[in-house]
Chains A and B, each alone.
Chain A
Amino acid sequence: MRRFLTVLLVVTLVLGTAGLVLAQDGDPEYGGTLIYAQGADADALDPHMTTLGNSADVIVNVFDGLVRFKPGTTEIEPALATDWEVSDDGLEYVFHLRKGVKFHDGTPFNAEAVVFDIERQLNSDHPYYLEGAYPYAGFSLGMIEKVEAVDEYTVKFTLENPYAPFLKNLAMFATMIASPEAVKKYGEDIFKHPVGTGPFKFVEWVRDDHITLEANEDYWDGRPYLDELIFTVIPNNQTRLLELEEGNIHVMEGLNPTDVERVIENDNLDLLEAPGLNIGYIALHNEKKPFDNKMVRKAMNYAINKEEICKYLMGGQATPAKGPLPPTIWAYDDSLEGYPYNPEKAKTLLKGAGYGDGFEFTLRTYSAPRAYNPVGSRLATAVQQYLSEVGIKANIEQLEWGTYIEEGKAGKHTAAFFGWIADNGDPDNFLNVFFNSANQGSTNRAFYSNPKVDKLLKQAQQITDEDKRERIYKEVQGIIVDDAPFVFLNHMKMQIPIRSNVKNYVLYPTNNKYFHKVWLDQ
């Protein structure tokens, strides 16, 4: 009997495992409608007319760029361009375009279309240039001196200066290519008539309610598995989670830290997690007392318990930052120790800097949660508490977001909370943004200035050799962590709850939602 039971157990186990494997590796199924719920509506569906993540999530499913990110990475692979050459001086990029691709309106995709789409953003004399419409063009394409069609399927970009992250910019949603005929047809209303070459075609947009896309049967990279893809807007985080639990939606963004357990415990839901390409930090104004003193800045870093903040205040949705780069980015220096919590060391440093009795300063904060800070102004209260333990008195000053950002760019703060989300997944997009002295007045909010760092950053932009670039970025990280222009706080994880029957959903470091290869187990 016992033997029989053993056999039975083995058989059950084997069958059970086989069943599991089958369930996991089942062949993708075609068909079905997937509903993805966002917290806010898109503002524009033309790739060049928005900076908003909610718009980008729709755009990456309707459009393609010349190149794209490999799923789940920031590595580049061919998309509308099959291959490319870069000149030795890093100034000329020649792309060979994919043949036989058509936009959703039937317009053929070719070099002319690429040139048209770039010029309508950069050239204010272009007949389809729209005033005040392209908030991202300066960052993503501003380095282009000219773009020309060499022949029907070859396009050549000439840059003003060598700019190594250029290819990554061309994988961003903001540089994806729209149909020139659609731009001509819709004029100023192009923002609500997206026509690309992507895996899904646009069907309708009901403002603040939903955007519907349908499968592009002729997609050059294979028809998507889903028949229909709906982006719906549910502003309230609780309501959105209820809809997911009921199975009325399939994928959602914006999970409250307090609801993580609830998702994990639900058998019908899976929680997808991956490190994000972002950072939350406190910009210490490096030109203002007392933060013009490096020892004080270091003391600030040691005094704050980032582990505790990430684990408890942010509910485990974040990991502590050791330096200016998130750990998953290429060229991240893992050997750096950063500033582990050490209040005693902070006190010693303060004494050494002549602030043995501590000091008082104004700590600026915004109120509402942001993508790199899920708790809003409560973060400032926690930091204030830690600082008081080493004798530093932080007076919190809360400002309305628009004013906050404006005055932050202008440097009116002594210390203020900020954060950054990667645009293109290149270290340049963090280090140059934060620490190049030329970016004071915009993104260099610590007003950090170090001629050596400026020189290194420029060098890294101008060479295309990845190994050399990596070495430079590691050197810059060393200098920056030692100089401590920021209090390096946290990196948010990406957390996306999905229904268990949603298969093959991959998180991208840029946090855009791609649905081409996603299928529903029906």
Chain B
Amino acid sequence: MLNYILRRLLFLIPLLLAISIVVFFMIHLIPGDPVQIMLGDKGTAEDAARLRTELGLDKPLHVQYFKFLSNLLKGDLGRSIRNRNPVINEIGTSFPATIELTILSMIVASVIGVIAGIISAIKQYSLIDNVTMVAALLGISMPVFWVGMMLMLIFASRLGWLPISGRISRMADLNVITNFYIIDSIITSNWAAFKSTISHLILPALTLATIPVAMIARMTRSTTLEVLNQDYIRTARAKGLPEKIVITKHVLKNSLIPVVTIIGLQFGSFLGGAVLTETVFARAGVGRLLINGILGRDFPVIQGAVLFIATFFVFINLIVDLLYSYLDPRIHYS
């Protein structure tokens, strides 16, 4: 098992190298020059030329790439073109915000999705099944941006139950250590900040969960239906096992393997949805870092953020693969 994990981690190196090459050349293919965007309406041709030289943007692409790579090997992701902040700092402050949001959304989406899917499958063609599946269809179809705005208007503005935007109350006094506000508020026993952080997470997490919850519900339903028709389920029932045991012990464990795959893959779309959710709810996360980077052609920021996301994604997939062997003892890694 340990060998397997190590091998997977070693595989990360060529993978990241490939990603860095693809990303590097792709972002340089997008039209638009960071210096011109930075100067905007202002600035003379000489200003632009001077900035370009000083930032090393006038060198041939392969030279720029190898410089980037050699810095990367030294653990240096470079500095943002736009604000000269080290990219690693930019990621360090924005990534925790996204992780907090993503993990909470994940939990919400998995729990609701799996439960709804199983109930739908067991009560196939019932009213509850139909309602759930229509709701799932709606969940997939509604734009994330719109869902966020609606939730905000109803639960924050109209009803006043939850805050409108931000990661934490703007008046909050939190001693930031790890940038994971949940962890920081627990470490410092700052329960007011903890409560504020959680309440600021609920609406964005629900927003981000709408599409995945629908996907997971539909997937769970179809795999559960498949398992329900298997011979061993009929055998279990014939043995006179209570229905509850049949569902939890026999059906669930077997139907969840494809569901776990879907959940793992959904992490990718979570990061996509985070761009929109973070914009609507004014959360300073990696989605917004990336979109600002792309708009400003801030090459080092885009490269750093994409590499980070890719690494994160690989880790999630590794965890998913390891979960398989727990769910299905027939699967062994060596």
Contact = CB atoms under 8 A, between A and B. Distances in A.
Partners in one complex: yes
Interface of A: 33, 35, 40-41, 43-44, 49, 51, 130-133, 135-136, 138-139, 188, 191-192, 206-210, 230, 232-236, 238-240, 242-243, 245-246, 248-249, 399-403, 405-406, 409, 418-421, 423, 439, 441-443
Interface of B: 30-34, 36-48, 50-51, 53-55, 79, 82-85, 89-90, 93-94, 149, 152-153, 156-157, 160, 163-167, 170-171, 176, 279-282, 284, 288-289, 292, 297
Given A208-B288, A239-B280, A239-B281, A131 B43 contact: no
A234 B153 CA distance: 16
Contact of A402 (B31, B82, B160): B31
A246 B54 CA distance: 46
Given A35-B170, A230-B170, A442-B44, A402 B37 contact: yes
Contact of B280 (A35, A236, A246, A418): A236
Contacts of B42: 51, 135-136, 139, 423, 443
Contacts of A442: 43-45
Contacts of B166: 209, 232, 234
B38 A51 contact: yes
A522 B48 CA distance: 48
Name, among B31, B45, B164, B165, the residue most crowded by chain A CB atoms within 10 Å (CB to CB): B165
- Top-8 shortest CB links A-B: A402-B32, A132-B54, A208-B284, A131-B54, A43-B83, A442-B44, A234-B282, A209-B284
B32 A236 contact: no
A188 to B, nearest CB: 7
A230 B41 CA distance: 29
Given A138-B46, A210-B170, A418-B41, A246 B282 contact: no
Contacts of A238: 149
Contacts of A131: 54-55
A402 B33 contact: yes
A299 B176 CA distance: 62
15 contacts: A130-B84, A133-B54, A135-B39, A135-B42, A138-B47, A206-B93, A206-B284, A235-B282, A236-B282, A242-B165, A402-B297, A405-B37, A418-B41, A442-B43, A443-B41
A262 B47 CA distance: 43
A133 B84 contact: yes
B289 A208 contact: yes
Nearest to B31: A403
- Candidate in B41, B83, B153, B279 with the most chain A CB atoms within 10 angstroms: B41
Contacts of B83: 43-44, 191
A483 to B, nearest CB: 22
A343 B82 CA distance: 45
A349 B300 CA distance: 53
A249 B170 CA distance: 9
Given A138-B43, A238-B149, A248-B170, A207 B284 contact: yes
A439 B89 CA distance: 39
A207 B297 CA distance: 18
Given A132-B51, A402-B31, A208 B94 contact: yes
Contacts of A235: 279, 282, 288
Contact of B43 (A130, A133, A139): A139
Nearest to A45: B83
A419 B170 contact: no
Given A236-B279, A239-B282, 10 more contacts: A33-B171, A44-B83, A51-B39, A235-B288, A242-B152, A243-B164, A246-B164, A249-B170, A402-B34, A409-B36
A239 B165 contact: yes
Contacts of B46: 138
A498 B294 CA distance: 32
B41 A405 contact: yes
A246 B84 CA distance: 36
A441 B40 contact: no
Contacts of A51: 38-40, 42-43
Contacts of A209: 166-167, 284
A419 B280 contact: no
A517 B94 CA distance: 34
B33 A441 contact: no
B48 to A, nearest CB: 8
Nearest to A239: B165
A233 B285 CA distance: 12
Contacts of B157: 242, 245-246
A246 B159 CA distance: 12
B165 to A, nearest CB: 5
Contacts of A135: 38-39, 42-43, 47, 51
B282 to A, nearest CB: 4
A246 B166 CA distance: 14
Contacts of A139: 42-44, 47
B164 A239 contact: yes
Contacts of A41: 284
A420 B93 contact: no
Contacts of B34: 402
A73 B297 CA distance: 36
Contacts of A399: 31
A232 B172 CA distance: 13
Nearest to B167: A209
Contacts of A246: 157, 160, 164
Nearest to B168: A209
Contacts of A44: 83-84
B196 to A, nearest CB: 12
Nearest to A372: B41
B55 A132 contact: yes
Contacts of A232: 166, 170, 282
A233 B282 contact: yes
Contact of B45 (A192, A420, A441): A441
